[in-house]
Structure 1
Amino acid sequence: MLKKLVNIVIFVPLGILLIVLSVANRQTVTLAINPFDTADRMLSVSAPFFVFLFLAAILGLVLGAAVTWFAQGKYRRRARNEASEAMKWHREAEKHRSQAEKLAAQTTLPSPQN
């Protein structure tokens, strides 16, 4: 319930803001990639301004996610190593437990008969 409320409080205003930005920035702009000759049509893109805004936001999200992914790689590697080590020790414990059960079954003394 709290998660839905937080989503509504955050995402509804954000969606409204994005719609307002899209409507307010419909004019066509040209992004010139060639810094020396801005009139070069081969290295320029014309689109509504909100498209460039959305592409910049998406690029920022993707780059941020990639940086976070690579920064946390050492923790994922450590978790994998510790999980494999835990499984190794679990198998070792099971092996010793079965050996102890076999030994206990072999050394069981017969009950004294009266």
Structure 2
Amino acid sequence: MIRFLKGLILLPIAVVVVLLAVANRQPILLSLDPFSEGAPAFSVTLPLYALVFGAVAVGIVVGGIGAWLAQGETRRDRRRKTRELRRLQVETDRLRSDAAPAGRPGNPGRSSAPALPAPAARA
């Protein structure tokens, strides 16, 4: 179902992109020199659709980098919590292994406290 919805949304977008590229094939001069109007030092001639697609691609990359940087604190917090969870799991396993032989008869050095129950599995 999701595949169908993606196709339903992406197909019209692809058609519009192709129509934009076909309709805007004329070359334009992209100048990166704001001081020289007649013969700019840094300029390139390319089709208009290439300029538009390039600008969209740069926008996607810049937006992705911005989102990645904004999520840095969340990733750091998750790593910290994962380390704490692993530490607690190791401690829980150690306590279980210490408490497991306690219930056996004939083990004088240990208390007869019941073993800790296993945690419920999460889905």
Question: Which category of TM-score, normalised to the shorter sequence, fits these structures?
Answer: 0.7 to 0.9
Count of residue pairs the alignment pairs up: 107
Amino acid in the other structure paired with 1:90: Q
* Structure 1 unaligned residues grouped into runs of 5+: 109-114
Please give the secondary structure, in 1, of the residue aligned with 2:44. Answer: strand
Larger RCO, structure (CA 8 Å, separation 6 or more): 1
Same amino acid, percent of matched pairs: 30
* Structure 2 unaligned residues grouped into runs of 5+: 111-123
Q: Does 1:74 align with 2:73?
A: yes
4+ residue runs of structure 1 moved beyond 4 angstroms? none
RMSD (Å) for aligned C-alpha atoms: 1.5
Q: Does 1:87 align with 2:86?
A: yes
Aligned-partner Cα distance in 2 for 1:93–1:40: 74
TM-score (norm 1): 0.87
For residues 72-112 of structure 1, give each alpha carbon's deviation from its aligned partner in whole angstroms, at most 9, with x where no partner exists.
1111111111011001000000000000113333259xxxx
Amino acid in the other structure paired with 1:8: G
TM-score (norm 2): 0.81
Which structure has more helix as a fraction of its residues? 1
